[in-house]
């Protein structure tokens, strides 16, 4: 049932006594408060939307009363942690977030505008406190009855951080205690006024299946390996007229993880690359060219520091910075990520710097290499796994060798669902995007190599390409060696050991870091495989590609390595190249 149209106290930018949400936005844009560009874009969005709300085409408006209600509620709460109890006083940036989330409403119905929110700030800035406020408020002080408030994370200990923030607020106030029934042993809080239930949960998606959460808090999203829990919660909210899925996190170490993809999407919202009017975004981060050693820039990622009258907190942070910079390595990366809120990739075994990899993504396709020479790399499956082929093109720019790589993979029809479950990868989407071809021969159980060869031949014909040689992994190749002869070029068996593969593996990485590699940025399957790649432990000083589990496919990259073994050379190998590299098999 649609709610009746209600009278809304709209913000007026001309009034002298401005609401705290809008005042913060203006102060940031007037540089009265230190903030990075992402926060400035969030503030600009708020002010622009207020202006847009005066037009009939824009269906949302800012209700000062609703914004003030959550802010005023928050400041009735008591902080009991520490030496002595004290009333909660919100920082301006916290008022901006809370007031925005609940103050923006639909003009006609009064239904809250924002259904999702993404808040990313540095460590120890009160992210969990904000979610604790929202948890308590949604528990007993909204109109929704007999609903679920869900607090979830990768483990129950993390999920209960927000839970405990709510518990502390409740236990600090006798009036609040009468309205809630805390069952810590069940990780639940019963809400007596609304019969809503607050629950902390982790890991088990089935435990959430079927629930419709009027409010959900995803804590430290950067720790989530995938979006299973998040998407299950979101799906459960689809039919709710009014709900909120709130993400709180710092930056993380997985450049291609679920949280980082959310981060990039939210940045696109702020930059108006994509439009999502129901998604609130607040990202407190440095600007790209900021001096990391300038403490004034640290206020951008840790907005509470600006309101520390003693200056002790910034001194502690300065000591941590100096120590981390001197020690380097993991400690330095941890400081950058957790305190300066920077996405920094760190792994002792990871193969590719994914930040560098993404810089190599372009809009180029095979059309840009029409009529050009290329070397073909092939990685063949033993049955139902991925089979991948790579077309690698080379050219020179001012004596720098450049590479463009085009990849395509194949999967048997009857193995798609299995691999989606074991690999946690969107194979059907990749099929839809034209990155992956289904094969149906042998009952769809094994890869049909005739489909692979058909793709190669048709692609060569379509773009008038000139095949120079085929480099293949001898494993599983015996079944089609005669078919390779039909191409009329040298077919090179690439020995799969570290001595043979060390040079192409490392040259690909160095070429990516030097930005001498290009690929189509829409090839998400290639990027996924690249992110799965690790390096083996050195053997006699040589390494090769590895993966961290049997479900982390690296076949597209492996086929590239086969091609690159000869693409990286400046000369075309002779026909008897197998004899020339025969010694590689001895290691």
CATH code, domain carrying 542: 3.30.420.240
pLDDT above 70 coverage of the chain, percent: 89
Q: How confident is the model at residue 574 (pLDDT cuts 50, 70, 90)?
A: very low
Tokens (6 digits) for 552: 């982390």
Q: Which of 41-55, 126-140, 527-541 has the lowest mean pLDDT?
A: 527-541
> For 255-308, what is each residue's pLDDT tens digit?
778 888 889 899 999 999 999 999 999 999 998 888 888 888 889 999 988 888
Interhelix angle 127-140/156-171, rounded to 10 degrees, is: 60
Torsion-angle region of 229 (φ positive above 0: left; ψ -120 to 50: alpha; else: beta): alpha
Question: Does residue 12 carry a pLDDT above 60?
Answer: no
The whole-number average pLDDT for the span 432-461 is 86
In this structure, is residue 322 part of a structural domain? no
Say how far apart CA 53 and CA 47 lie, in whole Å.
10
Where is the domain boundary, 84, 109, 134?
109
pLDDT value for 204: 59
In this structure, is residue 530 part of a structural domain? yes
pLDDT value for 332: 81
3-state secondary structure of 566: helix
pLDDT value for 2: 38
> For 360-415, what is each residue's pLDDT tens digit?
999 999 999 999 999 999 988 766 678 899 999 999 988 889 999 999 999 888 88
Q: Provide the number of structural domains found in the chain.
A: 2
The whole-number average pLDDT for the span 299-327 is 85
In this structure, is residue 381 part of a structural domain? yes
Tokens (6 digits) for 267: 């940045």
pLDDT value for 210: 52
Q: How confident is the model at residue 123 (pLDDT cuts 50, 70, 90)?
A: confident
Long-range CB pairs of 387-390 (<8 Å, 24+ gap) are 387/411, 387/447, 387/449, 387/452, 387/555, 388/529, 388/555, 388/556, 388/558, 388/559, 389/452, 389/455, 389/456, 389/559, 390/556, 390/559, 390/560, 390/562, 390/563
Q: Which of 89-98, 514-523, 546-555 has the lowest mean pLDDT?
A: 546-555
The whole-number average pLDDT for the span 160-173 is 88
334 within 8 A of 344, measured Cβ to Cβ: no
Q: Which helix (H) or strand (E) holds 226?
A: none
Q: How confident is the model at residue 114 (pLDDT cuts 50, 70, 90)?
A: very high
The residue ranking higher by pLDDT, 347 or 20, is 20
pLDDT value for 260: 85
Question: Does residue 422 carry a pLDDT above 80?
Answer: no
In this structure, is residue 160 part of a structural domain? no
In this structure, is residue 370 part of a structural domain? yes
The residue ranking higher by pLDDT, 550 or 54, is 54
Q: Which of 445-449, 491-495, 502-506 has the lowest mean pLDDT?
A: 445-449
The residue ranking higher by pLDDT, 533 or 586, is 533
In this structure, is residue 320 part of a structural domain? no
Question: Does residue 221 carry a pLDDT above 50?
Answer: yes
The whole-number average pLDDT for the span 555-564 is 93
Cβ neighbours for 486, distance < 8 A, ≥ 6 positions apart = 453
Backbone angles phi, psi at 189, to 5 degrees: -135, 120
In this structure, is residue 190 part of a structural domain? no
pLDDT value for 346: 61
Alpha helix positions (H), 215-311: 228-236, 258-270, 295-301
| Domain, as residue range, for 501 | 354-586
Where is the domain boundary, 109, 141, 168?
109
In this structure, is residue 441 part of a structural domain? yes
The whole-number average pLDDT for the span 127-141 is 90
HSE of 253, CA atoms in CB hemisphere, 13 A: 12
Where is the domain boundary, 57, 84, 109?
109
The whole-number average pLDDT for the span 133-147 is 90
Q: How confident is the model at residue 350 (pLDDT cuts 50, 70, 90)?
A: confident
pLDDT value for 13: 45
Q: How confident is the model at residue 113 (pLDDT cuts 50, 70, 90)?
A: very high
Cβ neighbours for 125, distance < 8 A, ≥ 6 positions apart = 284, 302, 303, 304
């Amino acid at each position: 049932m649609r709610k009746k149209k209600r009278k809304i106290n709209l913000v007026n930018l001309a009034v002298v006594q401005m609401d705290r949400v809008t005042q913060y936005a203006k102060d940031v844009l007037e540089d009265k408060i230190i903030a990075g560009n992402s926060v400035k874009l969030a503030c600009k969005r708020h002010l622009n939307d207020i202006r847009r709300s005066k037009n009939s085409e824009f269906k949302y408006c800012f209700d000062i009363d609703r914004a003030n209600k959550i802010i005023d509620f928050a400041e009735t709460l008591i902080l009991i942690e520490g030496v002595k109890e004290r009333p909660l006083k919100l920082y301006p940036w916290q008022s901006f977030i809370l007031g925005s989330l609940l103050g923006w409403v639909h003009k006609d119905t009064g239904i809250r505008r924002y259904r999702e929110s993404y808040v990313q700030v540095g460590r120890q800035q009160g992210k969990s406190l904000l979610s604790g406020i929202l948890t308590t408020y949604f528990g007993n002080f909204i109109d929704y009855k007999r609903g679920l408030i869900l607090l979830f994370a990768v483990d129950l200990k993390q999920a209960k951080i927000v839970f405990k923030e709510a518990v502390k607020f409740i236990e600090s106030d006798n009036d609040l205690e009468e309205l809630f029934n805390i069952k810590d042993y069940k990780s639940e809080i019963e809400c007596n006024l609304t019969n809503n239930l607050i629950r902390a949960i982790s890991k088990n998606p089935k435990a959430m299946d079927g629930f419709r959460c009027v409010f959900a808090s995803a804590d430290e999203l950067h720790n989530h390996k995938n979006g299973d829990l998040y998407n299950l919660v979101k799906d459960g909210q689809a039919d709710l007229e009014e709900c909120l899925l709130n993400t709180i996190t710092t930056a993380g170490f997985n450049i291609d993880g679920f949280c980082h993809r959310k981060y990039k999407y939210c940045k696109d919202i702020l930059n108006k690359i994509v439009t999502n009017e129901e998604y609130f975004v607040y990202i407190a981060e440095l600007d790209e060219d900021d001096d990391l050693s300038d403490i004034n820039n640290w206020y951008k990622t840790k907005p509470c520091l600006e309101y520390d009258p003693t200056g002790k907190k910034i001194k502690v942070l300065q000591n941590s910075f100096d120590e981390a910079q001197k020690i380097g390595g993991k400690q330095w990366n941890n400081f950058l990520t957790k305190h300066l809120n920077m996405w920094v990739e760190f792994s002792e075994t990871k193969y590719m710097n994914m930040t560098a990899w993404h810089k190599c993504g372009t809009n180029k396709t095979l059309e840009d290499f029409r009529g050009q020479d290329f070397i073909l790399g092939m990685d063949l499956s033993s049955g139902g796994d991925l089979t991948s082929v790579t077309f690698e093109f080379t050219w020179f720019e001012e004596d720098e060798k450049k590479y463009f790589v085009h990849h395509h993979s194949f999967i048997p029809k009857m193995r798609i669902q299995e691999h989606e479950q074991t690999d946690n990868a969107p194979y059907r989407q990749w099929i839809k995007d034209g990155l992956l071809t289904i094969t149906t021969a042998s009952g769809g159980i094994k890869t049909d190599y005739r489909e692979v060869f058909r793709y190669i031949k048709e692609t060569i014909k379509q773009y008038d390409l000139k095949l120079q040689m085929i480099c293949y992994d001898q494993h599983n190749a015996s079944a089609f060696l005669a078919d390779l002869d039909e191409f009329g070029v040298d077919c090179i068996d690439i020995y799969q050991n570290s001595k043979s593969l060390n040079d192409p593996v490392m040259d690909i990485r160095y070429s990516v870091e030097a930005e001498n590699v290009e690929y189509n940025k829409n090839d998400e399957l290639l990027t996924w495989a690249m992110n799965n790649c690790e390096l083996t432990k050195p053997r006699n000083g040589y390494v090769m590609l590895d993966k961290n589990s049997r479900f982390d496919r690296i076949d597209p990259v492996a086929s590239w390595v086969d091609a690159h073994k000869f693409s990286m050379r400046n000369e075309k190998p002779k026909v008897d190249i197998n004899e020339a590299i025969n010694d590689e098999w001895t290691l």
